[in-house]
C-alpha cells in the first residue's frame, strides 16, 4: 500500500544537540530533496552528500543529505533525510520549507505506520520500535530487540499454523463423514485445542512484563536502626536517605532507582516497624506496610550483631511466603545471626561494603526471567488469553457432544484474535491507538 502524499518531520529529539535529522517519506521525497539541497544532482541511492539547505535564495544551513529509494527504506517508500546542525532554527527552517513545497507534517508514529501498511514489518514489530525507544534498562531494550527481530511474530505464526491444522481436521470430518467419524474428529480436535490453549497461556507472563516495563519493586523493611537507610545509600551509591543513630529517622518512603544486571529496580526505604511509634511515625509505619504488600521482593533487614527482637520476629511472620531476602546487616560487628539460620539470607555490611555484591545478585534474581516469555506486551497477552478461551470453548463443545461445526466457529474466533496481534486482522481504530503513542518522527 503506497501512500499518495509525502510526509516530513524531525527524526531526532528536539532541542540543542550536535545534529538534527529531518526525515521525508513519500513519492515526492526526491523532488523535495532536489528543491532544497544545493548543489542539486542526480542522487545515488543510500549515499550521503555534502552541501547546503537553500530555500528561495536563502541558505538555511550547511548540511549533509541522503536519498534512499524504495523499497530498501524504513517505510518502503522513497525517503530523504537532511542531517543538519542541532538546535531549533535549522530544523524548523527546513521543515517550513518542505511544508511550503508540498509535504505535510507527519502524525505521531506515521513513518512506522507506513512501514507496517507497506508490509515491511508486522504490527508486533512496529510496537517493538516504540518499546525500544522508551526502554529504560538493558533488559527492556533486549526484549524489544527480540520482538523487533520477530520473537512474538514467530510464536504467533507457529500458533496459527497449529490452529489451521486443527481446523483442517474439522473440515475433513465435515466433508468426509463416511471416512472420519464426528466422535473421532471431536476427540482429536479437543485435545489439540486444549494443548494449544495451554501453550498460549504459558507464553503470557504479566508479572515479568510489568517488571520489564516498569521495573522491579524492592522494599527495605525492618525495625528502627537496623541500617535500612545505610543500605539504600550503599545500593544507590549516593546519599538518598538521612542516616543517624536516632531511631525513627525515616518517617516516609524514600525511593531510589538502581540498575542491576540490566534490570531497573525501584528501591524503597521505609519507616522502622515498631509499635511504640509517635503519631507522625505511625503514619510512616502504615505506609511502610502498604509498600511491603505491593513489593516484588521484600528485603527484610535484621541487625546481625543482636539477637532477634520481637519486632524482627513479627516481621518475619508477616512476610512468610512472600518473595523475600533476609538481609543480615552489620556483619562487620561480632555476628549473632548468621545466613545459615534463615532461608535465602545474605550477610552484608553497609559500612564496609562486604556482601553487597551478593545482595545485588539476590535482588536481580527476582527479575531474572522478566522479558523471557514469548509475549511481553499487555495487548498481545490479552489477545492470546482471549484466543485460549475460545480454544477451550471449542474443546468443551466437542467434548460435550455438540455440533463440530459450532466448535469450528470458536476456532475461527481464536484465529482472528491471533491475527490481531500481528496485524493480519486490524482496523483503523487499533492502528490509531497504537501509533498515537509514538513520537512524531518515528
CATH for 211-365 is 3.40.50.300
Quick: pLDDT tens for 286-297. 565 666 776 888
Which among 90-99, 197-206, 315-324, 330-339 has the top mean pLDDT?
90-99
C-alpha cell at 98: 518542505
Pull the grid cell for residue 71.
Answer: 523499497
What pLDDT does residue 244 have?
Answer: 43
Q: What is the pLDDT of residue 282?
A: 52
Q: Which residues contact 215 (CB under 8 A, 6 or more apart)?
A: 136, 137, 257, 263, 264, 265, 266
Average pLDDT rounded to a whole number, residues 308-326? 87
Q: Does domain 138-205+375-423 have CATH number 3.30.70.20?
A: no
Predicted confidence band at 249 (pLDDT cuts at 50, 70, 90)?
Answer: very low
* CATH of the domain spanning 7-122, picked from 3.40.50.11740, 3.30.1360.120, 3.40.630.30, 3.30.200.20: 3.30.1360.120
Q: Are 148 and 116 in contact (CB under 8 A)?
A: no
Residue for cell digits 527492556? 140
Q: Which of 196, 199, 188, 173 is nearest to 398 (CA)?
A: 188
Residues 6+ apart with CB under 8 A from 358: 346, 348
Question: Which pLDDT band holds residue 224 (cuts at 50, 70, 90)?
Answer: confident
Q: How far apart are the first and last CA of the chain?
A: 19
pLDDT over threshold 60, residue 390:
yes
The yes-or-no verdict on residue 250 having pLDDT over 80 is no
CA 296, CA 37: separation in Å to the nearest integer? 55
Name 219's bridge partners.
268, 298
For the segment 190-203, the average pLDDT, to the nearest whole number, is 93
Residue 342: pLDDT over 70: yes
What mean pLDDT comes out for the span 392-407?
Answer: 84
- The pLDDT score that the predictor gives to residue 371 is 66
d(CA 137, CA 363): 16
H-helix or E-strand containing 197? helix 182-202
pLDDT number for residue 70 = 95
Query: What are the E-state strand segments in 270-407?
Result: 297-303, 324-329, 345-347
106: which residues sit within 8 A by CB, 6+ positions away? 7, 8, 9, 23, 25, 440, 441
- Percent of the chain at pLDDT above 90? 41
Residue 89: C-alpha distances to residues 17, 101, 439 (Å): 12, 18, 20
Q: Report whether pLDDT(278) > 60.
A: no
Written as nine digits, the cell of 218 is 524492592
- Report the distance separating Cα 112 and Cα 7, nearest Å: 12
280 contacts: CB under 8 Å, gap ≥ 6: 251
Q: Residue 124, Cα to own-chain centre: how many angstroms?
A: 12
pLDDT at 389: 96
Q: How far apart are CA 412 and CA 84, in angstroms?
A: 51
How crowded is the C-beta side of 145, counted as CA atoms within 13 Å? 6
Reported as a single tens digit per residue, the pLDDT across 101-145 is 999 999 988 999 999 999 898 888 888 787 787 777 776 777 777
Residue found under cell 550503599:
234
pLDDT grade, residue 175 (50/70/90)? low
Q: Residue 327: phi, psi to the nearest 5?
A: -105, 110
Q: What is the residue extent of each domain of the chain? A: 7-122, 138-205+375-423, 211-365
Q: Please, which residues have CB within 8 angstroms of residue 341's CB and are 6 or more apart in sequence? A: none
- H or E stretch including 164? helix 151-175
Task: For the chain, give the percent of residues with pLDDT over 70.
Answer: 86
Average pLDDT of the segment spanning 78-85: 97
Amino acid at each position: 500500500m503506497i501512500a499518495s502524499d509525502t510526509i516530513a518531520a524531525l527524526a531526532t529529539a528536539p532541542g540543542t544537540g550536535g545534529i538534527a535529522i529531518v526525515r521525508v517519506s513519500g513519492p515526492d521525497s526526491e523532488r523535495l530533496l532536489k528543491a532544497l539541497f544545493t548543489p542539486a544532482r542526480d542522487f545515488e541511492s543510500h549515499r550521503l552528500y555534502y552541501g547546503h539547505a537553500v530555500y528561495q535564495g536563502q541558505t538555511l544551513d550547511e548540511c549533509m543529505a541522503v536519498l534512499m529509494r524504495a523499497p530498501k527504506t524504513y517505510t518502503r517508500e522513497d525517503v530523504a533525510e537532511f542531517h543538519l546542525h542541532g538546535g531549533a532554527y535549522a530544523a524548523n527552517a527546513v521543515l517550513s520549507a518542505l511544508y511550503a513545497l508540498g509535504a505535510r507534517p507527519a502524525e505521531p508514529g506515521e513513518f512506522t505506520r507506513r512501514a507496517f501498511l507497506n508490509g515491511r514489518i508486522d504490527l508486533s514489530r512496529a510496537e517493538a520500535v516504540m518499546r525500544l525507544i522508551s526502554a529504560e534498562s538493558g533488559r527492556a531494550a533486549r526484549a524489544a530487540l527480540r520482538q523487533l527481530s520477530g520473537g512474538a511474530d514467530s510464536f504467533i505464526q507457529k500458533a496459527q499454523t497449529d490452529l489451521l491444522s486443527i481446523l483442517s481436521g474439522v473440515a475433513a470430518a465435515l466433508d468426509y463423514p463416511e471416512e472420519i467419524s464426528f466422535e473421532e474428529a471431536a476427540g482429536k480436535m479437543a485435545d489439540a485445542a486444549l494443548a494449544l490453549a495451554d501453550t498460549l497461556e504459558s507464553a503470557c507472563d504479566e508479572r515479568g512484563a510489568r517488571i520489564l516495563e516498569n521495573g522491579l519493586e524492592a522494599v527495605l523493611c525492618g525495625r528502627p536502626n537496623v541500617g535500612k537507610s545505610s543500605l539504600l545509600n550503599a545500593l544507590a551509591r549516593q546519599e538518598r536517605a538521612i542516616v543517624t543513630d536516632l531511631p525513627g529517622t525515616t518517617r516516609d518512603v524514600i525511593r531510589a532507582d538502581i540498575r542491576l544486571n540490566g534490570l531497573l529496580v525501584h528501591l524503597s526505604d521505609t519507616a522502622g516497624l515498631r509499635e511504640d511509634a509517635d503519631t507522625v511515625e505511625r503514619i510512616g509505619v502504615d505506609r511502610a506496610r502498604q509498600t511491603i504488600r505491593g513489593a516484588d521482593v521484600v528485603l527484610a533487614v535484621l541487625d546481625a550483631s543482636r539477637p532477634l527482637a520481637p519486632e524482627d520476629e513479627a516481621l518475619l511472620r508477616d512476610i512468610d511466603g512472600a518473595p523475600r531476602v533476609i538481609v543480615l546487616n552489620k556483619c562487620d560487628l561480632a555476628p549473632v545471626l548468621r545466613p545459615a539460620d534463615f532461608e535465602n539470607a545474605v550477610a552484608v555490611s553497609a559500612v564496609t561494603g562486604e556482601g553487597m555484591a551478593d545482595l545485588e545478585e539476590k535482588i536481580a534474581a527476582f527479575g531474572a526471567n522478566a522479558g523471557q516469555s514469548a509475549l511481553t506486551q499487555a495487548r498481545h497477552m490479552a489477545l492470546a488469553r482471549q484466543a485460549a478461551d475460545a480454544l477451550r470453548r471449542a474443546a468443551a463443545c466437542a467434548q460435550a457432544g455438540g455440533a463440530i461445526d459450532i466448535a469450528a466457529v470458536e476456532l475461527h474466533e481464536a484465529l482472528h484474535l491471533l491475527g490481531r496481534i500481528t496485524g493480519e486482522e486490524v482496523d483503523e481504530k487499533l492502528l490509531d491507538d497504537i501509533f498515537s503513542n509514538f513520537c512524531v518522527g518515528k
